[in-house]
A and B are shown apart, each in its own frame.
Chain A
Amino acid sequence: MGPFLLVTIQIDLYDRLALTLENDLINMVSQTGARGVLIDISAVSIVDSFMGRILGNIASMSRIMDAETVVVGMQPAVAITLVELGLTLQGVYTALNVEKGMELLNTKLGDNLELDDDEEEDQDDRND
């Protein structure tokens, strides 16, 4: 899996369980130093505004912990419903499936690593 955490949600979560997930996940990011979080919601049949907010929270918190979040496997009916509900999942990356989500994370991390390299080079130049 590399530096990524994969979370598969297999049931419709009730609120306390969703909050526990949010909490556990952030702790895991901290403990493992994961650079990416993949949340597989292919078995989730309902995403309401509460669940949407949890996904958004996980993404924001992970970002502060230096990890990107990708939500994968959303059912088409759920996507249609989310748009009408008015929930756009801002700041949350999405991908069709786990494989594509991994690709997206790798690309993002790749970009960041390149950026880091550039910064280091700049540093070197200044030292010269």
Chain B
Amino acid sequence: MIVMTKDTMEIVREQDVVPFRNRVREFGTRIGMSLVNQTKLITAASELVRNMLKYASGGRVILEVISHNAKTGIRLTFQDEGPGIADIAMAMRDGFSTGRSLGLGLPGAKRLVNEFDLKSNPGVGTTVTVIHWKHGR
């Protein structure tokens, strides 16, 4: 896996969400990702960044253009130092939410991207990594 471009954004308040989404769009446009794939990635990113704000009062996102086996894609890493997720299997279920939301954020985001990885340490924080390839596969 080769990292071609890297950028980090701090997310501390809800007003950071739209600029962050625009940054993801710039990355997508730069590698020639189609509009549908950009929309999927940005929507997933929007869900994850919202979770970060809601449950961990913010965190940071690392945006990277990566290349692997002649494929180009975007990797986003969401890191927070929040309370962590006690039951990941439960959190990944459709319709489950400890907040008062629809409970679509995590499972929905997973469906929208090619690769999805969630690691969480209760009391330490959560890291979610997603990869979406230029052609969506």
Residues of A bordering B, CB below 8 Å: 12, 14-16, 45-50, 52-53, 75-78, 80-81, 84-87
Question: Which residue numbers of B lie inside 8 Å of A, CB to CB?
Answer: 14-15, 17-18, 21, 25, 35-36, 38-40, 42-43, 46-47, 50, 94, 101-102, 104-105, 107-109, 111-112
Tell whether, in the assembled complex, residue A46 and residue B104 are in contact, meaning their CB atoms are under 8 Å apart: no
Q: List 26 A-B contacts (CB under 8 A).
A: A14-B15, A14-B18, A16-B14, A45-B25, A46-B21, A46-B39, A46-B43, A47-B43, A48-B50, A49-B47, A49-B101, A50-B46, A50-B101, A75-B39, A76-B36, A77-B36, A77-B38, A81-B39, A81-B40, A81-B43, A81-B112, A84-B111, A85-B43, A85-B47, A86-B104, A87-B104
Tell me, rounded to whole Å, the shortest Cβ–Cβ distance linking B73 to chain A: 17
Task: Select the residue from A49, A75, A77, A78 with max chain B CB neighbours within 10 A.
Answer: A49
A12-B21, A46-B43, A53-B102 in contact; A81/B50 too (CB < 8 A)? no
- B30 nearest CB across to chain A (Å): 17
B102 engages A49 (CB within 8 Å):
yes
Once the chains bind, are A14 and B108 in contact (CB under 8 Å)?
A: no
A80 to chain B, nearest CB (A): 6
B112 nearest CB neighbor, chain A only? A84
Which of B21, B36, B50, B102 is the one whose CB lies under 8 Å from A80? B36
Q: Is the CB of B47 within 8 A of A48?
A: yes
Complex Cα spacing A15 to B107, Å: 21
Most central of A16, A45, A76 by chain B CB within 10 Å: A45
- CA distance in complex: A127, B65 (Å): 76
User: When the two chains form their complex, are residues B43 and A48 in contact, meaning their CB atoms are under 8 A apart?
Assistant: yes
Q: How many angstroms between the C-alpha atoms of A61 and B25 in the bound complex?
A: 33
Contact status B17-A86, CB under 8 Å:
no
Q: How many whole Å from B115's CB to the nearest CB in chain A?
A: 15
Of all chain B residues, the one with the shortest Cβ separation from A75 is B39
Least CB distance, B91 to chain A, in whole angstroms: 14
A77 with B14: CB separation less than 8 A: no
Q: Give Cα A61 to B108, complex, Å.
A: 26
